[in-house]
Amino acid sequence: MSHVNIQDYEKAAQALLEPAYWDYYAGGSDDEITLRANRAIFDHIRLRPRILKDVTTCDTTTTALGTPLPMPIIVAPTACHNLAHPEGECETVRGVSQAGTIMTASSVSSRSLEEIAEAASTPLWFQLYIYQDRSITINLLERARQTGYRAIVLTVDVPRLGNRERDLRNNFKRLDSANFVVNDVTQLRRSLTWKDITWLRSLTPLPLLIKGILTAEDAIIALEHGVDGIIVSNHGGRQLDGAISGLEALPEIVEAVAGRCEIYVDGGIRRGTDVLKALALGARAVLVGRPILWGLTVKGQDGVNHILELLKSELELAMALCGCPTLNDITPSLVKL
Ligand code: FNR
């Protein structure tokens, strides 16, 4: 069967994956209200297309923290790719390399950050959790820098793990990360405070992005702590159920930040028109999580590449139909909230 869109990949992945693995990838927390809201908001927002512009070619190229990208689409950090493919994140990164965009490697990946870098021929960002034992964080940061990762993405929306009831029912326990040897003490994530951001900022020369901000208030404090970028996110509906979607939070954050750092958004991006809507509301680029896992499950690296190529070509078509030959032409007037 040929897969013509992300939904086709999603269905195929569900048929292929162990049910408990599918649930781990697809699920959210509690009643999955936020998980559904992440999709619903994109259906709700409508476009105001402009006509009679020369859209013979539409240019999707951009930069993220100075790195040139073929499309404003970046791979979000997701854990445990070995549930989808025996080569895990190494296979994923080969597909992302074909597409030529940035992959964010999760700190709880099933392949080590060095193995992922070895398999990659595309720029990488490293997603960080901070653990009780500070030496683990220091060690991860140093390894990421030495291996050529270009930015650190600190995830701040997991002071505790969300209540994932599908996983409880399945008695699903996530596998250990390949990045470090875990024991009961170090496995505990620290409940972070802004002091940790100051500490982290002083530890690494790499650009620092904060992932998991949903309010203008926190965006301002993040700026005061010298972050280089903000990823507006509710963790794919896997943490606080009832939290607003990233897309809904985006406008107030864009307004508060007023161009002082780059702003990204994730959650529910499944179509080129979704990317267009996020950019119209002020995102520099979007991150995609689950669709990459569906591509990986169904066709390994080619599936991952295809997912990214689908999003890119759908975005290019949407730009043409909206009268936007460049990404700069995508402005707030394009959407009706
Ligand atoms: C995630 N996410 C995530 N985020 C993070 O910062 N570190 C991580 O290790 C993980 N792991 C993870 C596993 C799985 C299976 C999923 C689905 C998600 C959240 C992820 O980065 C991103 O915020 C969401 O996945 C974006 O939403 P969509 O694109 O999946 O709808």
| Residues 158-208 pLDDT 10s | 999 999 999 999 999 877 789 977 654 465 667 899 999 999 999 999 999
ipTM for the predicted complex comes to 0.99
Mean pLDDT for the stretch of residues 276-288: 98
Rounded CA-CA distance 109/112 in Å is 7
Mean confidence (pLDDT) of the chain: 96
Per-residue pLDDT, averaged over 248-273, amounts to 98
Is 79 close to ligand 1, i.e. is its CB under 6 Å away?
yes
Of the candidates 113, 90, 93, 89, which has an alpha carbon nearest to the alpha carbon of residue 101? 93
List of residues 6+ apart from 66 with CB closer than 8 A: none
Other C-beta atoms lying within 10 Å of the C-beta of residue 84: 29
Cα separation of 209 and 157, whole Å?
13
pLDDT at residue 131 in the model: 85
Could you identify the residue written with the tokens 């995609």?
288
Residue 81 in tokens: 């790719």
Q: Tell me which residue of 152, 107, 110 sits closest to 131, measured CA to CA.
A: 107
Mean pLDDT of 105-122: 97
Tokens, residue 131: 């653990």
State the pLDDT at residue 232.
99
Known binding residues for glyoxylate: 24, 129, 164, 235, 238
The pLDDT, as a whole number, for residue 186 is: 63
Q: Which residues are annotated as a binding site?
A: 24, 77-79, 106, 127, 129, 155, 164, 211, 233, 235, 238, 266-270, 289-290
Which alpha helices (DSSP H) does the chain contain, by range? 6-16, 19-26, 33-44, 88-99, 113-119, 134-146, 165-170, 194-203, 216-224, 246-257, 272-280, 290-321
**What's the rounded mean pLDDT across residues 290-298?**
98
Q: What is the residue with the minimal CA distance to atom 6 of ligand 1?
A: 155
The confidence score (pLDDT) of residue 337 equals: 80
Architecture, CATH, for domain 6-322+329-336: Alpha-Beta Barrel (3.20)
Q: What is the pLDDT of residue 184?
A: 44
- Express each pLDDT in 42-69 by its tens digit: 999 999 999 999 999 999 999 999 999 9
pLDDT digits (tens, 9 = 90+) for 202-249: 999 999 999 999 999 999 999 999 999 999 999 999 999 999 999 999
Identify the H or E element spanning 75. strand 73-75
- Catalytic positions are 235
Q: Which amino acid is at 27?
A: G
- How far apart CA 237 and CA 7 sit, in angstroms, is 18
Is the per-residue pLDDT at 149 higher than 50? Answer: yes
Annotated binding site for FMN: 77-79, 106, 127, 155, 211, 233, 266-270, 289-290
Cα separation, 10 vs 298, in Å, equals 9
Q: Provide the residue type at 4 as one letter.
A: V
Mutation to probe ligand 1, out of 235, 245, 308 (largest number of atoms < 8 A from CB): 235
Q: pLDDT at position 185, please?
A: 44
**Could you tell me which residues come within 8 angstroms of residue 133 by beta carbon, excluding any fewer than 6 positions away?**
185, 186
Cβ contacts of 12 within 8 Å, gap of 6 or more: 1, 3, 294, 297, 298
Residue tagged 């990986």 (tokens): 296
Instruction: State the SS3 of 228-295.
Output: CEEEECCHHHCCCCCCCCHHHHHHHHHHHHCCCCEEEEECCCCCHHHHHHHHHCCCCEEEECHHHHHH
Instruction: Give 294's pLDDT tier (boundaries 50, 70, 90).
Output: very high
Q: Which two tokens stand for residue 23?
A: 């649930």
Residue 280 confidence (pLDDT) above 50: yes
CA–centroid distance, 75 to ligand 1, in Å, is 10
Asked if residue 106 has its Cβ within 6 Å of ligand 1, the reply is: yes
The minimum-distance atom of ligand 1 relative to the CA of 235 is: 23
Mean pLDDT of 253-276: 98
211 Cα nearest atom in ligand 1: 6
Average pLDDT over residues 13-17: 98
> Which residue has the CA at smallest separation from atom 2 of ligand 1?
78
What are the extents of the domains in the chain? 6-322+329-336
Place of tokens 């972050």: 227
Question: Percent of the chain, pLDDT > 90?
Answer: 92
